[in-house]
Amino acid sequence: MRKVLVIHGPNLNLLGEREPNIYGKVTLEEINQDLQEGARKNDIELRIVQSNHEGEIVETIQNSRHWADVFIINPAAYTHTSVAIRDALSAVTVPTIEVHLSNIHAREGFRQASHVSPVAAGVIAGFGKNSYLLALEAATKIALPEKKK
């Protein structure tokens, strides 16, 4: 049974009321419910966290490095600013799938650069809630490093 940790970054707790023209009306709770259902169907053990704090996300990555087989992370605004989250991800050997609800490449210039993408196994962006569900599917297929500590 693969163990997957989903990390939602800052302001994603406000989904549903936050800029619905960009992010849709779906709430984080609805996304999480669909992820849990997808996990049950795919025999995945799922943990989900949301944090508005960069250091907390760094600590979650560090503390989960022996538990998780795969990380799915939407670093939200930290995508574009956080060397610390990128360094945490490259410090651990857990394959990471970067997710965005919106297509960051079709938005403002500052959103088109990601500190996380170069250390991610892959990136899924632009499909709203389905970005997460596609990432969950990818998490069932992604090659895992040979030895897990």
Chain positions contacting ligand DQA, by CB under 6 A: 11, 74, 76-77, 79, 100-102, 104, 111
Dist CA 100 CA 107 (whole Å): 12
Nearer to ligand DQA, 2 or 48 (CB): 48
Nearer to ligand DQA, 106 or 144 (CB): 106
Catalytic-labelled residue, pool 53, 66, 80, 100? 100
Active site residue 23: yes
Strands (E), the chain: 2-8, 44-50, 70-74, 96-100, 122-125
DSSP state of 107: S
Nearer to ligand DQA, 2 or 134 (CB): 134
Q: Which two tokens stand for residue 56?
A: 């907390």
Q: Least distance to ligand DQA from the beta carbon of 76, Å?
A: 3
Nearer to ligand DQA, 61 or 101 (CB): 101
Active site residue 105: no
Q: How many helices (H) and strands (E) does the chain have?
A: 5, 5
For residue 101, give the nearest of 16, 5, 39, 4 by alpha carbon. 16
Q: Least distance to ligand DQA from the beta carbon of 79, Å?
A: 6
Catalytic-labelled residue, pool 23, 78, 115, 132? 23
Q: Which residues contact 48 (CB under 8 A, 6 or more apart)?
A: 5, 6, 8, 32, 35, 36
- The set of catalytic residues is 23, 100
